Structure 1
């Protein structure tokens, strides 16, 4: 079956129409509350909606149809859904720091694992990555890799230093943390799961951009994004 045939099948279903409707409602509400510098900026945003909403809806239905994603598609709310764990999935990556002798434990050990993952040669721009913002994880993507200075820039969150001192220094990093992707963390990001401390909160629905990026996640190999 050709790609154009799959597109036609998706667009003819009630689920596709419901998904698009949900995305339109959410995006128009966001535009209405937005702070735009000019009427032209609003016009450009509205003009681009049909393309991005159709592209996102198609991609979401495609990854479900092909069995690429472990997430459930909620067409009515135009979002992904998944069971939320009792504790935040990033807890293990940021355990209380404790160093004994020459053995790295806690944050030092997790720092080393995360940095090793991001400094590998096959990490490239366009890769979907998770970023922790206080109480929830957003889906972002790498747009620049600076090998000389050991740092990575993501499209939304900006620069992240992969040197030891910067990574372990909360004051320098602010409230942002670049996480190493794993299944629990990526599911949490896609479904918008939130915690306050270790108490579950109501989910935050990811942005249209995040939903589109979520369809590029290769759940079998996070270093090799899907092309949908």
Structure 2
């Protein structure tokens, strides 16, 4: 089957149409509440909206159809779903040894710009991607969350009271990030639906090897 036929097959499914509808409703609501500096800013967002919604819906249908994702697809809400653990799955990455393991994972040669990575915020984990690597200064920058140090002593200090933290990906952490699971203390809260950008990034995750993303 050719790529064009595959695309046509996905766009003709009910799931694809339902995903597009849910994504449009959510994005239009966000735009309506947005604070834009000028008319040109919102025009640019609207101009690209169709492309990104179509691309995201296609990617979500494709990864499920080809069995690439262990998550369940909620077409009505245009989101991923999975059973939520009682506690945030980042537990255990706060110790000095685990910080050293995280640094080792991010310091290898097979880390590159564009790789999807998890970032811990106060009460949930988001999906981000690397946009700059500066090994001379032992740091990595992600597109949304900014710079993170790869020095052990600085990373340990970041773990204590920081409002954001770079995590080493594993299945539980990436599941939490993709599904928007949220906690307050040790209590589960209602999920936060990931952004359109995060949903698109989630479709490139290779759950068998987080350093080798899928070509979706």
TMscore range, shorter length: over 0.9
**2:114 aligned with 1:122:** no
Could you tell me whether the CA contact under 8 Å between 1:166 and 1:173 is conserved in 2?
no
Could you tell me whether the CA contact under 8 Å between 1:129 and 1:181 is conserved in 2?
yes
Moved over 3 A (4+): 170-174
Alignment of 1:142-161 (within 5 A): 142-161=130-149
**1:165 positional shift:** 2.1
**2:118 aligned with 1:138:** no
**2:66 aligned with 1:76:** no
Between the aligned partners of 2:52 and 2:128, the Cα distance in structure 1 is: 17
**2:26 aligned with 1:26:** yes
Which residue matches 2:10?
Answer: 10
Secondary structure of 2:188 counterpart: strand
What's the C-alpha RMSD, in Å, of the aligned pairs? 1.2
Secondary structure of 1:40 counterpart: helix
**2:24 aligned with 1:36:** no
**2:164 aligned with 1:176:** yes
Secondary structure of 1:92 counterpart: coil
Between the aligned partners of 1:227 and 1:209, the Cα distance in structure 2 is: 16
TM value normalised by structure 1: 0.92
Between the aligned partners of 1:68 and 1:77, the Cα distance in structure 2 is: 20
Which residue matches 1:104?
Answer: none
TM value normalised by structure 2: 0.97
**1:173 positional shift:** 7.9
Between the aligned partners of 2:118 and 2:69, the Cα distance in structure 1 is: 16
User: What are the ranges of 5 or more consecutive residues in structure 2 without an aligned counterpart?
Assistant: none
Between the aligned partners of 1:179 and 1:123, the Cα distance in structure 2 is: 14
Which residue matches 2:195?
Answer: 207
Which residue matches 1:100?
Answer: none
User: What are the ranges of 5 or more consecutive residues in structure 1 without an aligned counterpart?
Assistant: 95-106
Between the aligned partners of 1:161 and 1:31, the Cα distance in structure 2 is: 34
**2:211 aligned with 1:226:** no
Q: 1:112 to 1:202 in 2, by over 3 A?
A: same
Between the aligned partners of 1:88 and 1:35, the Cα distance in structure 2 is: 32
Q: 1:9 to 1:27 in 2, by over 3 A?
A: same
Between the aligned partners of 1:143 and 1:218, the Cα distance in structure 2 is: 19
